[in-house]
Structure 1
Amino acid sequence: MNESYPKENLARKKVFRRLLSYTKPHKKQLAFAFLILFLATGADLLGPYIAKVFIDDYLTPRHFAWQSLTGLGIIFVLLYIGTALFHYLQIINFQTVALKIIQQLRVDVFNKVQHLGLSFFDKTPGGSLISRITNDTEAIKELFVTVLATLVQSSVMLIGIFIAMFALNVKVASFCLILLPLLFVLMYGYKKLSAVVFRTTREKLSQLNARLNESLQGMTIIQAMRQEKRLRKEFGKTNGEHNHASLKSIKLNSLLLRPAVQVLYVLGLVLVLGFFGVRSFDSVISIGVIYAFVNYLDRFFEPVNSMMQQLTHFQQATVSAERVFGLLDETEMAPTKIGNSASSIQEGKIEFKNVTFSYDGKTDVLKNISFVANPGETVALVGHTGSGKSSIINLLMRFYPIEKGDITIDGTSLKAFSDEELRKNIGLVLQDPFIFAGDVKSNIRLNNRNISDEQIVEAAKFVQADSFIEKLPKTYDEPIGERGSTFSSGQRQLLSFARTMAIDPRILVLDEATANVDTETEEAIQTALAKMREGRTTIAIAHRLSTIQDADQILVLHKGEIVERGTHQELLAFKGLYHKMYLLQQGEVAS
C-alpha cells in the first residue's frame, strides 16, 4: 500500500494537470475572474483593520471627530459593498468558464464513444458509459465552479491574514504559525483517506446506472419472465454497497472537516488570548489590536474550513476525471482506413481470402473463410446458431479489425476504403432494426442532406412502406417514440428497408431481414427484396431457407467453417447438412 500510494499520487497530479489544460482557451476570462477574486479578498481583509482604527483611535480615547468617523464609516460600508460585488462577479465568471469546460469535455467524451470499436461495447455496460458522460463530468464541473476559486481565494486570504497579523504583533503572529503544520497534517490525512472512499463511491454509482439501464432496456422480458424480484434484489445489493461507501464518506467528513478544524481554532484562540492576558500584567494592551487579532483568527479558520470542505469535491472531481480520461484514452477504436489511397467502390465484387477471426483472441469463430460474391450476385449464409454468419457480416461492415486473411471489394482491401466510402456503398438491414426518436422522415433520411423529400417517398414506395406511412395522421412527419415502440416490428423493418434504399447502395447486406415480419407483409417484402437485389451484390443471412432458394450461391457454415457451398438444387442433391436443415424446416411447415 505504501509503495503504491506515491504512484497513485503522481497519477492524480497528472490528471489534475490535464484538467487544467482545458482552461487554456479561457485564460483571459479566468485571469479577470482571479483579479476580481484578489480584489474581493483584499477588501474583505481591510474590514477588521478599519474596526481596529475605530476602536483604538476614536472609541477608547473617546475622541469623536464626526467628519473623520463619517469618512471611516463610508469607507467601511463601501468595502463591504465592494466585497459583495466582487464576489458576485468572480462567481459569474468562474461558473461561466466551468460550464464551457464541461460542455467541451462532454463533447470530447461523446465524440470518443462514437469512434470506439464494437469490441469495446461488447464488454462495457451502457449504464457505466452513461455514468461517465453525465455523473462524472458533473462532478468535474464542481472543480472549476467552486474548488479552484475557493482554494485560490482561501490561500490568498490566509496569506493576507498572516501579513495583517504580523503587522499588528510579530510575537503573537509567530505563535499562530504553530497551527500551520497541524493544518497540513490534517489536510494530507484527509486527502489520503478520502481518495479510496470516493473512488469506491463513484464505481458503485456507475454500477447502479448500469443496473438501471439494463432494467429499463429489458423491461418487457423482466415482466414477461417475472424477474422483478431478482432484479430488485440485485439492484438493492448494489444500492446497499453504494450507501455503505457513502456512509464511510460522511463519517470521514464528520470527523476530519469542521470538528477537527474547530479544535485547532480553539487552540489558536487560547494562544492569542493567553498571550495578551499575560502581557496585560506588565503593559497596556490595545483593545483594538485584541479585537483585530481575534477577528483575523476567526477569519483564518473560515478559509481553512472552506479548503477542507472543498477537498471533498476535489477528490470526487479527481476520481471522476480518472474515469473520464480513462475513457478518452481508450485505444480499442473502430477500424479505420489504412493508407492514403483514394479507393472507391465501383462494381461491388466481394472476396473473402482465408479469413480467420476471434472476438477474444482465444477462440476462433471463423476459420479460413474464402468465397467470392460477383457484382449483382446474391450469396446466402446459412447455418445453425453460432456458426459464424453474423461474424462474416461484422467483418464485411468493418465493425471489427481483420487479423488473419483479407477481404477485398473490387480487388481492393477493405482496409483501404474510407468510412464514408464504405457506409454510402454498403446498405445494412438488421433483423432487429434500430429506430431513432424523431419522425418517419428523419428516420429514413438519417440527417443525409443529399437525400431529398422526394427520394424519401420514392424509397418508401419502393419497399412498399408507403402503404402504412400514408395512413399515419401526419404521414412522413408522424412523431416516433424511443426505439419506435409505437410501431409494429414489421413497420420498423419496412422503415429500415426504406432507409437503406434511400442511399442507393451498390452492396446490400441482409441479416434475416424478414424474420420479424408477418406472412402477408413478408410476401410484399420478398417482392421488394427482389427489386432491391437487382444490380446489387447481396450478402444475406437466412434462417428460413425458403427465402434464399434463388440465391446464386449458398454457403453452409458449421462451427466457423464453410462445409458446403452451391445453389439450392445442388446442395439438396448433395444431401448434406443443408439437405437436413431443409427437410427439418419442411417438416415444421407441414406440421
Structure 2
Amino acid sequence: MESPPVLNAKEQRSVLFRLLAYAKPHMKMISIAFGFLLLATAGDVLGPILVKIFIDDYLREGIFPFQPLMLLGSAYIGIQILNVLVSYFQLLKFQEIALKIIQQMRIDVFTKVQQLGLKYFDKTPAGSLVSRVTNDTEAIKDMFVSVIATFIQSGILLFGIFVAMFFLNVKLALFTMLILPFIVLIMSLYRKLSSRFYQEMRERLSQLNAKLSESLQGMSIIQMFRQEERLKREFGEINDQHFEAGMRNIKADGLLLRPAVDLVYILALIIVLSFFGITSFDSTVEIGVLYAFINYLDRFFEPVNNMMMRLSLYQQAIVAASRVFKLLDEKELAPEQTETETDKITVGKIEFKDVSFSYDGKRDVLKNISFTVNSGETIAFVGHTGSGKSSIINLLMRFYEFERGEILIDDHSIKNYPVKELRDKMGLVLQDPFLFYGTIADNIRLHNQSLDEEDIRQAAEFVQADAFIRKLENGYGHKVTERGSTFSSGQRQLIAFARTIATNPKILVLDEATANIDTETEEAIQVALAKMRQGRTTIAIAHRLSTIQDADQIIVLHHGEIVERGTHQELISQQGLYQKMYLLQNGSVERLEDVVG
C-alpha cells in the first residue's frame, strides 16, 4: 500500500493561513483572549525581577524595612494570584473560540458532502469521509485550543525574557542568544520528520475507518461466506501500518522533543555559570542577578519545551486540515442547473434525444439513446446487467452530468429546471429502499413539514401499507432501526412507496422496485404500483418481465444501445432479444405460444 504524499513547507503554510481564516469572525473574542495572554505573560516576566530586587537590595545588604518589603511581597503574591485568574480566563476563551471554529468547519464539511455528485461517492469509501468529518476536525480543534495560544504566549514570553535579560546584563544576554540557532534547528528537523509520519498515520486511520464501515455494512455477507479471517487479516495489515507510522513518530518525539532541548538547556546553563564564574575574579557577583538569569533560563526553556511538545499537535492539525480542505475543494459536485424561474413541470412528458454517456470518460455506457414518454404513459426498460438501464435513470434524476444529447421534460431541457422543482415533481423508488433511523411517520414524511399525520396516513393507505403499519406497536410511531432491518423487504418497499406518493409526483421512476419483494406482500405491491402509475408518467426498470407487460412502450437495451422497442405483444412477435428473455423467465415454448395465440 503506497504512502500518502508529504506536504512541503509551502503547502503547510497555505494550509495554516487557510485555517487561520476561520478565526476572522471571532476577532473580538480573540482580542480579549490575547489581552489575558499578555497580562499572564507580563506576570511571568515581572516575578523574577521582584525576587532579584529583594535579594540584591534588601537580603544581601541585611536591610529589612517593613513597608517596602510589604509592598514588594504584596506585589509578588498579587502578580501570582492575578496570573492564575488571567490564565484561567485566557484558556477558557481560546477553548470557546476553538470549539466554535470546529463547529463551523464540521458544518462546512458536512454541507460539502451533501453537494458532491454520486460520481465522487462511487470512488470514495464512506469510512474515509467519516474520518474527515470526525477524527480530522478533532485534530484541528487541538491546534486552536492549545497550539496557537501556546505558540503566541511562548513567543511573547520569550521576547519578554530576553528584554529582562538585556535589562539585567547585556553581555550575558548576548551570550545566551547563542542557543537560539540550535533550538530553531531542532524545531525545523522535527517539523520535517513528523510531517511525513503524521501524514501516513492519518491516511492509515482513514483506511481503518473505511474497512470498519465496509465490514459493518456487509456483515451478513461476511458471515455467510466465512470471510471473517480475511477481513481480520486485512484490518490487521492496515492497523500494523498505522502502528509502524506511530512508532516512527514516537522515536522522533523521544529524541527531539525533550532530550535534545534539555541538552541545549544544559549548554545555556554552562554559559551562564561560566560567565559568572569568570567575572567573579574581577568583580563581585550579584546573587540576585545570578538567580534571575537562572530563573529566566528555566522560564525560557519552559515555553520552548511547550512549543516543542505542541509541534506534534501542530503537525497533526496541519495534516488533518489538508485532508479536510482537499474534501472542501473537491470539484466532483452534483450537476449544476441553469435555473429559470418560469420552468415548471406541469405535464410530465419526457424525451431523450441522442443521449450518450460515460462514467469514466472512456467507455460509453449509453449510446445515442432516443425515446419519448407522453404524459400518463408508462415506459419500461429491460436488458441484461450492464446494458445501461440504471444509467438512464441516473441521468434523468440529475445524479450525473451528461454532455452529449438532450433530455427534455415538457419540452424544456432538464438542465434548466431548479433542483427543487425536479425533486418535487419526480418520485423515485429503488430496488433496495433506504429507511432512516426514526419512526415510520418520519420515514414517510422525510422532514417535509407540510405533511401532517393525515397526509401520511392517506399515503400509506393509497399504497396498501396502512394495514401492516397499524398492526405494529405504536403504529406510525413505531421505531425504525438502521436501514429498516427489522422489516421484510416487501414492508420496506411499501413504506418507500408511501414516501414517494406522499409528495404527489408528476413523474414516477421505478428502479427494479419489485425485484426483492416477498410473496406475502407481492399482491399488495402490485396493487400499489398500479394505483401509483395512474395519471403519472412512469419510467420503470424491470427484471421480471411479467410486471411490465402492460407498459405503453418497452425498450430493450443491449450494451448501452436500444435494440428493440414496442409493446409486449409486438416484441414477442419480433422473436428477438426480448422473446429470448421472456422464454428464459417462463421456461417453455408452450407458454410463449399461449401468449402469442
Question: How big is the shift at 1:522?
Answer: 1.1
Question: How big is the shift at 1:158?
Answer: 0.4
Q: Is the 8 A contact 1:390 1:541 kept in 2?
A: yes
Relative distance call for 1:85 and 1:579 in structure 2 (3 A) is same
Q: Partner of 1:349 in structure 2?
A: 349
Q: Partner of 1:183 in structure 2?
A: 183
Question: How big is the shift at 1:476?
Answer: 0.8
Secondary structure class of the residue paired with 1:178? helix
Question: How big is the shift at 1:473?
Answer: 1.2
The answer to whether structure 1 residue 68 and structure 2 residue 68 are counterparts is yes
Give the aligned residue type for 2:166.
F
Q: Is the 8 A contact 2:7 2:195 kept in 1?
A: no
Question: What TM-score does the superposition give when structure 2 sets the normalisation length?
Answer: 0.97
Name stretches of at least 5 consecutive residues in structure 2 with no aligned partner: 592-597
Q: Is the 8 A contact 2:125 2:210 kept in 1?
A: yes
Q: Partner of 1:375 in structure 2?
A: 375
Partners of 1:17 and 1:560 lie apart in 2 by 48
Matches within 5 A, 1:49-198: 49-198=49-198
Question: How big is the shift at 1:341?
Answer: 4.8
Secondary structure class of the residue paired with 1:513? coil
Deviation readout 1:429-474 (Å, 9 max, x if unpaired)? 0000110001111100011112121110000000111111101111
Relative distance call for 1:266 and 1:353 in structure 2 (3 A) is same
Question: What TM-score does the superposition give when structure 1 sets the normalisation length?
Answer: 0.98
Q: Partner of 2:523 in structure 1?
A: 523
Question: How big is the shift at 1:99?
Answer: 0.3
Q: Partner of 1:537 in structure 2?
A: 537
Question: How big is the shift at 1:516?
Answer: 1.7
Q: Partner of 1:488 in structure 2?
A: 488
Question: How big is the shift at 1:67?
Answer: 2.7
Secondary structure class of the residue paired with 1:381? strand
Partners of 1:70 and 1:589 lie apart in 2 by 114
Partners of 2:456 and 2:564 lie apart in 1 by 40
Q: Partner of 2:310 in structure 1?
A: 310
Deviation readout 1:509-533 (Å, 9 max, x if unpaired)? 0011112211231111111111110
Question: How big is the shift at 1:69?
Answer: 2.0
Moved more, 46-55 or 154-163: 46-55
Q: Partner of 1:270 in structure 2?
A: 270
Partners of 2:206 and 2:345 lie apart in 1 by 43
Relative distance call for 1:6 and 1:513 in structure 2 (3 A) is closer
Deviation readout 1:111-166 (Å, 9 max, x if unpaired)? 00001000000001111111111111111111110011000000001000001111
Secondary structure class of the residue paired with 1:177? helix
Secondary structure class of the residue paired with 1:369? strand
Partners of 2:540 and 2:336 lie apart in 1 by 24
Partners of 1:168 and 1:205 lie apart in 2 by 51
Partners of 1:92 and 1:589 lie apart in 2 by 81
Give the aligned residue type for 2:460.
A
Q: Is the 8 A contact 2:36 2:89 kept in 1?
A: yes
Deviation readout 1:50-70 (Å, 9 max, x if unpaired)? 111111122222212233222
Matches within 5 A, 1:108-507: 108-507=108-507
Deviation readout 1:455-506 (Å, 9 max, x if unpaired)? 1000000011111110111111111111111212111111100000000000
Secondary structure class of the residue paired with 2:460? helix
Give the aligned residue type for 2:532.
M
Q: Is the 8 A contact 2:6 2:199 kept in 1?
A: no
Q: Is the 8 A contact 1:393 1:509 kept in 2?
A: yes
Partners of 2:172 and 2:382 lie apart in 1 by 89
Deviation readout 1:178-206 (Å, 9 max, x if unpaired)? 01111111111111121111111111111
Q: Partner of 1:573 in structure 2?
A: 573
Q: Is the 8 A contact 1:336 1:418 kept in 2?
A: no
Q: Is the 8 A contact 1:276 1:285 kept in 2?
A: yes
Secondary structure class of the residue paired with 1:447? coil
Q: Partner of 1:564 in structure 2?
A: 564
Question: How big is the shift at 1:77?
Answer: 1.1
Give the aligned residue type for 2:389.
K
Give the aligned residue type for 1:14.
S
Give the aligned residue type for 1:120.
Y
Moved more, 102-111 or 472-481: 472-481
Deviation readout 1:212-240 (Å, 9 max, x if unpaired)? 11111111111111000000000000000
Moved more, 188-197 or 532-541: 188-197
Partners of 2:507 and 2:225 lie apart in 1 by 40
Partners of 1:446 and 1:6 lie apart in 2 by 43
Q: Is the 8 A contact 1:137 1:321 kept in 2?
A: yes
Give the aligned residue type for 2:138.
E
Q: Is the 8 A contact 2:6 2:195 kept in 1?
A: no
Relative distance call for 1:125 and 1:22 in structure 2 (3 A) is same
Give the aligned residue type for 1:69.
L
Partners of 1:297 and 1:205 lie apart in 2 by 40
Give the aligned residue type for 1:534.
Q
The answer to whether structure 1 residue 508 and structure 2 residue 508 are counterparts is yes
Query: What is the RMSD of the two structures over their aligned residues, measured on CA atoms?
Result: 1.5
Deviation readout 1:300-345 (Å, 9 max, x if unpaired)? 0001111111111111111111111110011110012125453110
Secondary structure class of the residue paired with 2:8? helix
Partners of 2:222 and 2:259 lie apart in 1 by 48
Moved more, 210-219 or 53-62: 53-62
Matched residue count: 587
Question: How big is the shift at 1:79?
Answer: 0.8
Q: Is the 8 A contact 1:460 1:495 kept in 2?
A: yes
Give the aligned residue type for 2:243.
N
Partners of 2:202 and 2:266 lie apart in 1 by 35
Q: Partner of 1:584 in structure 2?
A: 584
Q: Partner of 1:31 in structure 2?
A: 31
Q: Is the 8 A contact 1:45 1:160 kept in 2?
A: yes
Deviation readout 1:551-582 (Å, 9 max, x if unpaired)? 00000111111111000111111111111111
Q: Partner of 2:595 in structure 1?
A: none
Aligned-pair identity in percent equals: 61
Partners of 1:170 and 1:61 lie apart in 2 by 24
Partners of 1:512 and 1:289 lie apart in 2 by 86
The answer to whether structure 1 residue 18 and structure 2 residue 40 are counterparts is no
Q: Is the 8 A contact 1:511 1:540 kept in 2?
A: yes
